[in-house]
């Protein structure tokens, strides 16, 4: 039987705690009375987290997730472990398999060996061993490795996470600020046939892939609930917001919130794959072929999977949150 777990007075290690989701999670854990070890490769860069809690409650520690010794030291004596570490593209030093699969399993094994009562693995919606995307395949393999080592672990699969520091809505807003043309990724022209009428060309087809963006604060709350609720142990949850959007709707929403008029152009997958083959050669990977493969599958939660409501969370809407942080991209004036 799984016993209740209280964050008040408990020590929790958060791997990747200085990242986008991590900073929101650390603040919530501190507010709940936990002592947090923020395990990161460069603890000096995580000092900005300390003011989020009382003195001594948030402690950045050095830990490379590929180092057995670092991991063992980071989880020693803690009551719970959260793994937020993930990469969006591979480098010569870090592959998807190393980070998402092998390291995740090693973290869970180390946590179990150290006697931790809780482990939360933050994966990704769309994780699947049969996916064309290496990112999605290794996320699924990582989930399996975690559950083998720590069967009581909770796995969370968020959709696209949005919030003030996101790389999704902010990216499209930045493109719209710099360019008169904004691409609609994955949208392709198609002919529409109607009885008794000539075929009509729909420039954006069905509007591109579907997404169910989830607010970063809701994801952080879900992690806290997963730690506290006994019934969450050993389960997978899919986290999505209250509404599903096509890619074209996403771009239109960004333009509306930033007050800009831009020409939208369809960017079919064959074109994206060609562009990605060039862009992924750059030091900063703006787009990779693996990301294009990932885009081909809708990023929407399953109706059968437990989700935010099962954790007692009512998800925030994109329309309520976006104005709070996209305002910096807004410029007054016609056609701005």
pLDDT at 2: 58
Q: How confident is the model at residue 68 (pLDDT cuts 50, 70, 90)?
A: very high
Mean pLDDT, to the nearest integer, of 51-80?
95
Mean pLDDT, to the nearest integer, of 57-77?
96
Residue 159 has pLDDT above 60, yes or no: yes
Q: Which two tokens stand for residue 304?
A: 């059968």
Q: Which CATH architecture has domain 11-162+212-243+299-315?
A: 3-Layer(aba) Sandwich (3.40)
Mean pLDDT, to the nearest integer, of 36-63?
94
Better-scored residue on pLDDT, 22 or 197: 22
pLDDT at 289: 96
What is the chain's Cα-based Rg? 21
Mean pLDDT, to the nearest integer, of 194-215?
91
pLDDT at 113: 98
Q: How many helices (H) and strands (E) does the chain have?
A: 11, 15
Residues 6+ apart with CB under 8 A from 115: none
pLDDT at 335: 46
Residues 13-26 have pLDDT tens digits of: 999 999 999 999 99
Where do the structural domains in the chain lie, given as residue ranges?
11-162+212-243+299-315, 169-209+245-297
pLDDT at 333: 45
Mean pLDDT, to the nearest integer, of 294-316?
96
CA distances from 218 to 37, 241, 245, 315, 318 (A): 22, 9, 18, 6, 12
Q: How confident is the model at residue 332 (pLDDT cuts 50, 70, 90)?
A: low
Residues 6+ apart with CB under 8 A from 105: 142, 145, 146, 148, 149
Mean pLDDT of the chain: 94
CA distances from 249 to 168, 173, 190, 211, 316 (A): 13, 14, 18, 10, 18
Residues 215-241 have pLDDT tens digits of: 999 999 999 999 999 899 999 999 999
Mean pLDDT, to the nearest integer, of 39-66?
94
Residue 58 has pLDDT above 90, yes or no: yes
CB atoms within 10 A of CB 161: 25
Q: How confident is the model at residue 3 (pLDDT cuts 50, 70, 90)?
A: low
Cα(117)–Cα(34) distance, integer angstroms: 14
Residue 334 has pLDDT above 80, yes or no: no
């Amino acid at each position: 039987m799984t016993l209740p777990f209280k964050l008040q007075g408990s020590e929790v290690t958060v791997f990747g705690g200085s990242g986008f989701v991590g900073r929101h999670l650390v603040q919530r854990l501190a507010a709940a009375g936990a002592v947090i070890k923020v395990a990161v490769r460069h603890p000096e860069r995580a000092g900005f987290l300390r003011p989020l809690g009382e003195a001594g409650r948030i402690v950045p520690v050095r830990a490379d997730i590929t180092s057995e010794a670092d991991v063992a030291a980071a989880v020693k004596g803690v009551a719970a472990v959260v793994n937020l570490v993930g990469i969006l593209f591979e480098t010569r030093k870090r592959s998807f398999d190393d980070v998402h699969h092998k390291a995740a399993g090693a973290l869970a094994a180390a946590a179990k060996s150290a006697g931790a009562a809780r482990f939360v693995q933050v994966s990704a919606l769309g994780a699947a061993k049969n996916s064309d995307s290496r990112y999605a395949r290794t996320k699924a393999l990582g989930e399996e490795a975690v559950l083998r080592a720590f069967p009581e672990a909770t796995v969370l699969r968020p959709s696209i996470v949005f919030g003030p520091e996101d790389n999704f809505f902010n990216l499209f807003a930045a493109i719209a600020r710099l360019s008169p043309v904004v691409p609609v990724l994955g949208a392709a022209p198609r002919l529409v046939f109607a009885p008794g009428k000539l075929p009509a060309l729909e420039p954006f087809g069905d509007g591109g892939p579907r997404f169910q963006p989830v607010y970063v604060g809701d994801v952080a709350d879900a992690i806290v609930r997963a730690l506290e609720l006994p019934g969450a142990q050993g389960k997978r949850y899919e986290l999505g917001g209250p509404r599903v959007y096509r890619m074209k709707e996403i771009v239109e929403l960004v333009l509306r919130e930033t007050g800009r008029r831009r020409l939208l152009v369809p960017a079919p997958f064959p074109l994206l794959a060609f562009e990605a083959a060039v862009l992924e050669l750059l030091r900063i990977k703006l787009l990779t072929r693996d990301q294009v493969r990932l885009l081909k599958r809708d990023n929407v939660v399953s109706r059968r999977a437990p989700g935010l409501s099962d954790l007692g969370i009512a998800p925030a809407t994109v329309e309520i949150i976006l104005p709070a942080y996209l305002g910096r991209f807004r410029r007054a004036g016609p056609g701005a």
